[in-house]
Amino acid sequence: MIYKATHNFIIYPFFIRYSIRKIKRNFQHVFISGEYRGKNLPVLLISNHISWWDGFWSVYLNMKLFHKKFYFMMLEEQLKKYMFFNKTGGYSVKKGSKSIIETIDYTGRLLADSKNMVLLFPQGKIESLYTKTITFETGIEHIIKRLTSDIQVMFLVNLIDYFSNPKPGLYMYIKEYEGKDFTTEKMQEEYNRFYCDCVSKNQVKKES
């Protein structure tokens, strides 16, 4: 049995306002690069996982670009510690458990509604910002294979840099995955190509 997401009518709006306010206070600026063309489809957002900030950043991006109902998958042990997130769109996954099938099916049902956006971290864990290659677990492939309708898959790469500022800048790069091959290997390959390109662009900003 998994913890399914809810959107508490008080906590969810508060979470959105809190996320935006916290980002504005803690970052010098937010830079969003890339194009999103809405297709009236549910959005699967695939992002690198570098810190506890990641969910807040995706909330910010959703409010700026996607304007969808926000859902995100969390490890069950983490969700139990912070059940607040369950009332803001968070639902559970437990690795190595039979309930993982239920989580995959539940994600598929969420992605059947064009009003929804689901955030997934393909790494399945937090890794260093300086990781050069993002390794995908197989969950995303299983989710997409079970879908019975179209979705819009968006890649997100989050990077932070201080440059000459006392506060870091947040750099969010987005790109739609337009391929038809949804195998773990192909999506990992395309994401890492995009990831490397984003890191290079940030390096250019630093040198300029």
Lookup: tokens for 116: 């929804």
Structural domain includes residue 101: yes
Structural domain includes residue 49: yes
Per-residue pLDDT reduced to its tens digit, 103-128: 999 999 999 999 999 999 999 888 99
Phi-psi region of 96 (alpha: psi -120 to 50; beta: other; left: phi over 0): left
Tell me, what DSSP letter sits at residue 112?
Answer: T
Structural domain includes residue 1: no
Distance of CA 76 to the CA centre of its chain: 17
Model confidence, pTM = 0.95
Percent of the chain with pLDDT over 90: 87
Structural domain includes residue 128: yes
Question: How many independent structural domains does the chain possess?
Answer: 1
Domain residues for 121? 11-207
The average pLDDT across 135-150 equals: 93
**From CA 50, how far away is CA 63, in angstroms rounded?**
21
CATH number of the domain where residue 49 is located: 3.40.1130.10
What is the structure's pLDDT at 207? 52
Structural domain includes residue 81: yes
Structural domain includes residue 6: no
Structural domain includes residue 133: yes
Structural domain includes residue 4: no
Q: Which residues, in sequence order, are bridge partners of residue 170?
A: 30, 160
The average pLDDT across 157-163 equals: 94
